[in-house]
A and B are shown apart, each in its own frame.
Chain A
């Protein structure tokens, strides 16, 4: 049995697939050294999201300051969810003269795929201090199971 995977492409994987695997390995290596690695999302997505998991749940978090719960539309399917909504900024009086205008309003929608199946019945979402947190319980089949090893 080979202990290490060969660097040269094997017959059943393309060169590009192998290069992609090497790139991911390198990213993992350097990400591991600097603490955390960030994946740059493709352009045009909003909001940026962080997804974490523990044994029972997936957690999806996004920063949505100034967005009210009623302006958010979240729907779930078996292995993913979509977040849509609108960020509204209150209109200021006509005589307001802006010195800085960095905050933006607009609509957004985004699909997020999860690595495993979820129990769509028990998904919970809450928005506090401008942070959206969605807790998605894993489906029974997707939960890790501890296997006890029996001594012969």
Chain B
């Protein structure tokens, strides 16, 4: 983390989705920024979804396609008028194709401070095993 600590953050414009699926909900849909990394035991996915509450988060897995979807209710009250507006709020949608190596029954999801953490453990057979080579 030492390299990134000194770095100053810059705002990135939220990426709006040009969805294949037509939306029935009004308002824009964004692609959440994600980190995906793999270890020997599984794949972890971290997604920034600020404003999404756990009950408005939908994680769906069908035919090895993982869909994460989150809805954000407009945080503004009814009597508020805009003074300055730099970002928009809306839903988040993103899809990933998973390999069969994932044990789909053991997927674990956690939503904390607007960050979704999905742990996708590898199926037993996909975990690499060290084979001891016997000499002699």
Contact = CB atoms under 8 A, between A and B. Distances in A.
Interface of A: 36-41, 43-55, 58-59, 61, 63-68, 86-89, 91-93, 95-108, 112, 114-115, 127, 129-131, 133
Interface residues of B, number: 43
Contacts, number: 161
Interface stretch (B17-25, B49-57, B58-66, B102-110): B49-57
B27 to A, nearest CB: 10
A131 B75 contact: yes
Across the A-B interface, the 5 shortest Cβ-Cβ residue pairs: A130-B114, A65-B114, A130-B50, A106-B9, A52-B80
DSSP majority for the B interface?
loop
Interface of A is mostly: loop
Contact of A51 (B11, B50, B83, B113): B83
B11 A55 contact: no
10 contacts: A38-B85, A41-B11, A53-B81, A63-B50, A63-B114, A86-B5, A88-B1, A104-B7, A106-B9, A131-B50
Contacts of B82: 36, 50-52
B28 to A, nearest CB: 10
B35 to A, nearest CB: 5
Contacts of A133: 75
A48 B115 CA distance: 18
A112 B43 CA distance: 40
A63 B51 contact: yes
Contacts of A98: 35-38
Interface centre among A86, A89, A129 (most CB of B within 10 A): A129
Given A51-B83, A96-B37, A129 B51 contact: yes
A103 B34 contact: yes
A128 to B, nearest CB: 8
Contact of B34 (A46, A64, A100, A127): A100
A135 to B, nearest CB: 10
Contacts of A54: 77, 79-81
Given A38-B87, A66-B115, A131-B50, 9 more contacts: A41-B11, A50-B84, A59-B77, A61-B76, A64-B114, A65-B115, A88-B1, A96-B39, A130-B114
Contacts of B48: 65-66, 103, 130
A58 B83 contact: yes
Interface in B88-116: 88, 112-115
- Find the residue from B1, B33, B35, B84 having the highest chain A CB count within 10 A: B84
Nearest to A102: B33
A115 B7 CA distance: 31
A47 B49 CA distance: 15
